[in-house]
Amino acid sequence: MRMLNRIRVWQCIIRKLNTPARFVVMMKSSDQPLDTKKSFEEKYFDCAANGNVEELKFLLQATFNSDHRNSKGWTALMFAARHGQVPVIETLLEKGCDVNLVNKTGQTAQDIALFWDQKNAADMLTDFIKKENPDKQLRNYFSLNNLDRMAEHRKDNSWLETKLKEETTKFIVFSDLKPLVVSSSNSAKRYKYSLVRLAHKDVELELKSNSLLVFLGVESFPKDCGAEDARQALFALDVTNTDETKFKSLVDESVFIPGYPASMQLDPSDAGIFAEARSMLDWLDRYKFCATCGSSTKVTEGGYKRTCDNQSCRTNKGIHNTCYPRTDPSVIMLVVSPDKKRCLLGRKKQFPAKMYSCLAGFMEPGETIEDTCRREVYEESGIRVGRVDYHSSQPCGHSPCSLMLGCIALASSENIKIDNDEMEDVQWFHRAELVQMLTRQHPQGLFVPPDQAIAHQIIKAWVRMTANL
């Protein structure tokens, strides 16, 4: 009962912390009052630095944000790493702390542990990162689709029909390309929504009305589990012509959300599934007629192909890109100055106020990734680019056909000449400013896109590469 009362007191405090009022309550372990937000933060960070696991757990039960930062951008995980507090690190990782956050000098908790020679702490963080990302390949938001797409079964109609009717099969539904979601149970509380998964009986009428349907894949399990046929299949279904309230009534507090920016608040694995499903439904809706002869088409191969109804059409012989979903590659690049001490960021007119990002643009036919970077950077900023290195990629969840190819490019010139039709501003930024923008500490309020965006990851990667530890 005492613990419950303490938790209620702390919850009350947290709800009030953003007001100017001062509160005085008794601490769990002392008779000293806590009367400001700063005192609460200090207590939280002191517990992390000193290894006080029980007190830390108590504070976290008060719904305090485990990734909270101090004025220097340090988190509790960073303090624990600095002082080698392995039990604290273990507790914070269980609470879903983000190991990729950087402080104002561009260091992650892992960087800090390595710098201060806290071997056990560094090993734990390294092992955690390897477990989360065993192939050491950066997986951007919208790229964390855990489904096995099982493309080899798409031409097997009987197999698809069997999967469609299995009791374990689930359906995610879209109305006007808006997915049905519910508040997320994500323990880290960083993401607001999860996709609603409905049963066959919930969508039976829509399946009979020739609604657009796409086989997305099956839940992935280890290859040696021997349960391939038992895995849960997942389909995406377009219910645009059905009253949305029918589906919202099936799950309490469910809602259809717009693709952007709400999709940036999906659980990461669901964001990857969303990107696949929305792209496919958008393509099926846009390309109902044959691009070669204009005849009607029918959906085949689990939704991944449109076949022309005109048997004499040449698209029915061989492979043609008009029959399959399109992907439009685009480049997004962080341009590094010739002295490698600054980076080039720009503002488009449609960006939120004070946000700067990497330059970007679409590839043209017959063009390489490297040449696209060089052309787009010159067109938008007047800067010449030499060497281009690939960083990572990201499907664009709210722009269905786009695949963003992230790069880091080395400039061979410095004088900026802005294309005013596309850009509102382009500037060189020193590393210290980029860190301020990443951590929302810039004196002018400038910032970069959130960490779900590939631009954020590229900028952060360069900041880490140039960290002066």
In degrees and rounded to multiples of 5, residue 221 shows phi and psi of -130, 165
pLDDT at position 20, please? 33
Instruction: Report, as an integer, the average pLDDT of 404-421.
Output: 94
Residue 37 pLDDT greater than 50, yes or no: no
Beta strand 342-348 pairing with 328-336: antiparallel
Residue 117 pLDDT greater than 90, yes or no: no
Q: Could you report how far apart the first and last alpha carbons of the chain are, in Å?
A: 47
Instruction: Report, as an integer, the average pLDDT of 188-194.
Output: 72
Higher pLDDT pick, 23 / 152? 152
pLDDT at position 183, please? 85
Nearest-angstrom CA–CA distance, 236 and 303: 10
Nearest-angstrom CA–CA distance, 171 and 177: 14
Among 331, 4, 7, 398, CA closest to 179: 398
Nearest-angstrom CA–CA distance, 330 and 412: 22
Rounded alpha-carbon distances, angstroms, from residue 399 to 179, 264, 283, 359: 15, 13, 11, 17
Type of residue numbered 150: M
Among 80, 161, 155, 160, CA closest to 124: 80
In degrees and rounded to multiples of 5, residue 398 shows phi and psi of -95, -5
Beta strand 213-219 pairing with 233-238: antiparallel
Residue 28 pLDDT greater than 90, yes or no: no
Please tell me the least confidently modeled range out of 5-14, 155-164, 358-367: 5-14
Nearest-angstrom CA–CA distance, 456 and 229: 40
pLDDT at position 355, please? 97
Structure tokens at 224: 């040696």
Give the pLDDT confidence of 288-325 residue by residue, as tens digits: 999 999 999 999 999 999 999 999 999 999 888 889 99
Please tell me the least confidently modeled range out of 100-109, 166-175, 374-383: 100-109
Give the pLDDT confidence of 425-435 residue by residue, as tens digits: 999 999 989 98
Please tell me the least confidently modeled range out of 32-36, 135-139, 389-393, 444-448: 32-36
Structure tokens at 414: 């410095």
Q: How confident is the model at residue 199 (pLDDT cuts 50, 70, 90)?
A: very high
Residue 4 pLDDT greater than 90, yes or no: no
Type of residue numbered 66: S
Structure tokens at 251: 């799950």
Q: How confident is the model at residue 95 (pLDDT cuts 50, 70, 90)?
A: confident
**For the chain, percent of residues with pLDDT exceeding 90:** 59
Residue 34 pLDDT greater than 80, yes or no: no
Residue 352 pLDDT greater than 90, yes or no: yes
Beta strand 255-256 pairing with 178-183: antiparallel
Give the pLDDT confidence of 57-94 residue by residue, as tens digits: 888 876 567 888 888 889 999 999 999 999 999 999 98
Among 260, 264, 270, 411, CA closest to 344: 411
Residue 198 pLDDT greater than 60, yes or no: yes
Instruction: Report, as an integer, the average pLDDT of 83-110.
Output: 87
- 3-class secondary structure for the chain? CHHHHHHHHHHHHHHHCCCCCCCCEECCCCCCEECCHHHHHHHHHHHHHHCCHHHHHHHHHCCCCCCCCCCCCCCHHHHHHHCCCHHHHHHHHHCCCCCCCCCCCCCCHHHHHHHCCCHHHHHHHHHHHHHHCCCCCCCCCCCCCCEECCHHHCCCHHHHHHHHHCCCCEEEEEECCEEEEEECCCCCCCCCEEECCECHHHCHHHHHCCCCEEEEEEECCCHHHCCHHHCCEEEEEECCCCCHHHHHCCCCCCEECCCCCHHHHECHHHHHHHHHHHHHHHHHHHCCECCCCCCEEEEEHHHCEEEECCCCCHHHCCCCCCCCCCCEEEEEEEEECCCCCEEEEEEECCCCCCECECEEEECCCCCCHHHHHHHHHHHHHCCCEEEEEEEEEEECCCCCCEEEEEEEEEECCCCCCCCCCCEEEEEEEEHHHHHHHHCCCCCCCCECCCCCCHHHHHHHHHHHHCCCC
Instruction: Report, as an integer, the average pLDDT of 249-259.
Output: 91
pLDDT at position 209, please? 85
What mean pLDDT value characterizes the chain?
85
Residue 24 pLDDT greater than 80, yes or no: no
pLDDT at position 14, please? 44
pLDDT at position 443, please? 94
Instruction: Report, as an integer, the average pLDDT of 29-35.
Output: 41
pLDDT at position 131, please? 80
pLDDT at position 224, please? 46
Nearest-angstrom CA–CA distance, 45 and 11: 18
Give the pLDDT confidence of 143-154 residue by residue, as tens digits: 888 899 999 999
Which domains are present in the chain? 2-132 (1.25.40.20), 147-286 (3.90.79), 328-465 (3.90.79.10)
pLDDT at position 136, please? 65
Residue 134 pLDDT greater than 70, yes or no: no
pLDDT at position 387, please? 96
Nearest-angstrom CA–CA distance, 384 and 373: 10
pLDDT at position 230, please? 57
Among 119, 134, 43, CA closest to 86: 119
